[in-house]
Amino acid sequence: MHDILQKVINSERIDKDDAHYILDNINTLDIGRIAMIRKNSLDPSTNVSFVIDTNPNYTNICETDCSFCAFWRKKEHSDSYTLTVDKILEIVKTSYHNGATTVLLQGGHNPELRLEYYLEIIDKITSEVPNIHLHAFSAPEVFSVAKYSKISTKEVLKNFWNHGLRTIPGGGAEVLSNRVRKRISPLKIDADNWMRITEEAHNIGFKSTATMMFGHAEEDEDIIEHLFKIRNLQDKTSNFLSFIPWTFKPENTFMENKISTEIGGDRYLRVLGLSRIFLDNFKYIQGSWFTQGFKVGGVSLHYGANDVGGTLLQENVLKSANNPYRAGIEEIVHIIRSEGFQPIQRDTFYEKIKEY
Ligand code: SF4
């Protein structure tokens, strides 16, 4: 442990063996202490940010059938839906009037939707609600649009960019290990394609986030591989804005009966702390009150998290898995303050909007 601590104190990088050592041998409280040394060297302030956002989904029709997902439906299903562009615009306008500065827009892989649908969404939102930032279409969606529209992913991304999209969410990464992906989402793009599309986006100029959804079929080795991959890409492009780890919610999914329990706070905090120590080139890491609840979400701020994500005025994906956690601005400000930090409302680029 002393060697790892010394590396972090000296702002040096840790390697994969160090990462294994941390998960195998260091107690949870000490992981938190080391994570905070790393966090303070990257961000010495006591600020913890959040964004007022909304997370509508334009369709729940999806042919990718991930076994961890409670949201998707086949077209024939009675509650399948695809929103018209005008309906999406109406949701965005309402969210804007309710204070949202970001709309995080994602959806299923619906073979009937082509490039034109996505471009119309971008055009209408950027022209009719210019003060809300559209943060939309993760790497697996880019792959699907390319497939259904019979063009390359690079062409899809260039079209998105030319129509005014500037950031894409890091969704669909789950754990960037092909061994894990074969088990939980065999029809989804593999880890190499997720990395390739994200790099293509960064090279065009997009900023994005990196996510990790864990607590299902992965081993420590897979988590460390995931962190290693995104750290390498951040070295190349510097276009990841933040890292967002969150935990699997099994209810209503095909994996519900295969996984006896959801992972608890201790494992979540250990992985969060490791992420902060390993990712020495990410300024912002998000703590997840949304999947871990307010108590553990608050404690995450002592394990290197310096952002707590969005207020999620609307959210459907984890709602489908009966996720009970909801918070407005007051609750989020309270979580941050009660742990001794300064709440900051931010925009999608992590720039300060307002201090609370
Ligand atoms: S996670 Fe996304 S790609 Fe997978 S089934 Fe759900 S909506 Fe489809």
Residue type for 198, please?
T
CA angle, corner 149, sides to 148 and 153, nearest 5? 95
Residue 51 parent element (H or E) = strand 47-51
Q: Residue 265's closest CA among 234, 305, 243, 295?
A: 295
Q: Probe ligand 1: pick from 67, 109, 187, max atoms within 8 Å of CB?
A: 109
pLDDT in tens, 326-346: 678 899 999 999 999 999 999
Task: Kindly report the length of the chain.
Answer: 356
Helix, strand or coil, per DSSP, at residue 227 = helix
The alpha carbons of the chain give a radius of gyration, in whole angstroms, of 19
Name the pLDDT band for 322 (thresholds 50, 70, 90). Answer: low
DSSP 189-219: --HHHHHHHHHHHHHHT-EEEEEEEESSS--
The percent of the chain in helix, strand and coil, each rounded to the nearest 5, is 45, 15, 40
Residue 90 alpha carbon to ligand 1 centre in Å: 24
Q: Residue 50's closest CA among 264, 337, 316?
A: 337
CATH of 2-355, picked from 3.55.50.30, 3.40.50.620, 3.30.310.80, 3.20.20.70, is 3.20.20.70
Stretch 15-34: mean pLDDT, rounded? Answer: 98
Helix, strand or coil, per DSSP, at residue 218 = coil
Residue 205 alpha carbon to ligand 1 centre in Å: 26
- Residue with the smallest CA separation from ligand 1 atom 2 is 108
Atom of ligand 1 nearest to the CA of 65: 5
pLDDT in tens, 233-288: 999 999 999 999 999 987 767 776 666 678 899 999 999 999 999 999 999 999 99
Query: What are the DSSP E strand ranges found in 92-176?
Result: 102-105, 133-136, 167-168
Name the pLDDT band for 313 (thresholds 50, 70, 90). Answer: low
- 321 pLDDT above the threshold of 70: no
Query: How would you classify residue 81: left for phi > 0, otherwise alpha for psi between -120 and 50, otherwise beta?
Result: beta
Stretch 74-103: mean pLDDT, rounded? Answer: 95
What's the token pair of residue 76?
């024939």
Residue 214 alpha carbon to ligand 1 centre in Å: 15
> Domain-by-domain residue ranges, the chain?
2-355
Ligand 1 residue neighbourhood (C-beta within 6 Å): 62, 64-66, 69, 71-72, 108-109, 140, 185, 188
Residue 196 CA, chain-centre distance (Å), reads 17
DSSP 128-150: HSTTSEEEE--HHHHHHHHHHHT
Question: How many whole angstroms separate alpha carbon 168 and alpha carbon 240?
Answer: 10
Block residue for tokens 């209503």: 252
Residue 353 alpha carbon to ligand 1 centre in Å: 33
